[in-house]
Structures are given as structure tokens and as C-alpha cells.
Structure 1
């Protein structure tokens, strides 16, 4: 990796600093980044088996209405269009009627999972849902994804 970095820096200097190129061209016809590198030491570190993810902060004193507004926003801004459409339409339809406990479960579902693709695959039943996320909210989301009413979902619902 250090060798690549040194090579990249040498190429950058050669391209973007022509006065150095002229000075080195007079002493040698070979560009300095093509010259053999003998004093390099390759350092390679072990990669960790996993990347530690920060814990999702629990907000015990958050008012229910504030939590629902936050979850509505987070359902609309997921980072992948598929979940934006599924979760925003789900939240628009069901979130306003959720109890405090159901809201907490939904919060844990969309914010406790580190990968949005997992939520998508579980909701579309491509992959089995882990037991900790197989809740009444996930079952409701799976029914919503099946779209028995054949509702067109090309865009997110308007905010009211």
C-alpha cells in the first residue's frame, strides 16, 4: 500500500510540477516514478474480521409525537430508493395509529439494523427474518409489501 502511495505521489509530482520534471529530465531520461524503488518497505496490517458499528442511541425521554415525526423522516430518507418507497408508504399508512410500544419496535427495526438491504430482503421475504426482528410490526410491513390493494407506489406520499 505504501508503495502505491509513493508511486502515486511521484506521478502526481511529475504531472503537476513541470519544473521538477525538467530538472529530473536533465539528469536522467527515465521519469522518476518509473525508476526502480529499492528503499521501500511494504507494511501490511491485518484487517479486522468485522467493522464495529456504533450502538443506536436509546431516547427514553423522547415524547411520542416527536418520535413519530423522527421515524416518519427516517422512513423517507433511507439511502436506497426501494426502502424509501416501502417504508415511507408504510409509515404514512400505519405510524400515526401506533402505540408507544409499537413505535419503539418500529424504531428498533429501522434503526437497529446496520444494513438497509437486510430490511428490504426481510420485508420482501427473500431472506428469513431473524427472531429478534420478527415482530408484529415486521409482519405488518410484510403484508404492506405484498400490496394486496394494488396501490401504485412510484413516489413517496406527500407530507401533511
Structure 2
């Protein structure tokens, strides 16, 4: 028996349970609620945004455009919002909000904007057209970092 095995025996003992099982069964995790066994996990729905003031809505969209969880969309959407959001009408803001908060997969937005996949009818609107033009980067702008706030 080597030194690591001896140390593990001292820490974890010689029980038939694995160290992970012992930690889970310990008192530290006794107050954790077990998830239901039905396999269905409910995702909380966002609070209603019906009466959200336009200034607050634009601030939220700015934040959501910068923090997508994938660098490609962070750069694409943050530079797009920096250029267009202040000029958007209320209808365009609504369309952009539904675009970035509708699909469950951010890669879909990226593929639609880059024309790798066809855009579904519900997201094929004037804001998506602007995003596709922005994605082409016709002015050859350097977009290796997000715009300053």
C-alpha cells in the first residue's frame, strides 16, 4: 500500500461506500431538497415585462447583448447594439428583445445572422436584416472586443 492509499484510508475510512457517496450522505447535505424523479425540470419564467420603461428595457437589452455566454454572440450583439439600439423605435426594440430572448440556443442566433442556417419566419424581420448586414462587416471594422460602456 502506497502513501496516497494510506492517506485516503485515514481520511475516508474503509467503508464500502465511495468517498462521494459518503459526502452526499453526510449531514452537510442533509438539508438539500432532492429534485423530483419525473425528469421534468421547470425553468422559472421571467417576470412580466409588459410595462417596462423604455430606458430600462434598453439597458436590459444592452446587458443581455454583452453577456450571452458565447464569445461570438457577445462580440456580434454588443457591437450591433452599440451602433443601433439608441436609434431603434419601440417596435424595433420589441423585435430585438424577442430575437435575443426567444430562441433557447444562442448558436441559432449566430447561424441565422451569418446566413449559415435559414432564419425562421418569426425572427425574419427588419432587425434581423440589420443584424445580418452588421455581421457582414462591410466597413471592415475591428471587432475584437466589446464597446466601452
Q: What displacement does 1:58 show?
A: 3.8
Aligned match for 1:115, one of 105, 109, 123: 105
CA–CA distance in 2 between the matches of 1:19 and 1:56?
44
Give TM-score scaled by structure 2 length: 0.73
Q: What displacement does 1:54 show?
A: 4.9
Give TM-score scaled by structure 1 length: 0.68
What is the number of equivalent residue pairs in this alignment?
124
Identify if the C-alpha distance between structure 1 residues 18 and 113 changes in structure 2 by more than 3 Å, giving closer, same or farther: closer
**Structure 1 residue 15 and structure 2 residue 8: aligned?**
yes
The Cα RMSD (Å) is: 2.5
Counterpart for residue 71 of structure 2: 81
**Higher radius of gyration, 1 or 2:** 1
Q: What displacement does 1:57 show?
A: 4.3
- 5+ residue gaps, structure 2, are 1-6, 18-36
Q: What displacement does 1:155 show?
A: 0.3
Counterpart for residue 127 of structure 2: 137
CA–CA distance in 1 between the matches of 2:59 and 2:39?
40
Identify if the C-alpha distance between structure 1 residues 152 and 124 changes in structure 2 by more than 3 Å, giving closer, same or farther: same
Q: How does 1:94-109 map to 2 (within 5 A)?
A: 94-109=84-99
- 5+ residue gaps, structure 1, are 1-13, 25-31, 34-44
Q: Indicate if the aligned counterparts of 1:85 and 1:155 stay in contact, CA closer than 8 A.
A: yes
Identify if the C-alpha distance between structure 1 residues 16 and 101 changes in structure 2 by more than 3 Å, giving closer, same or farther: farther
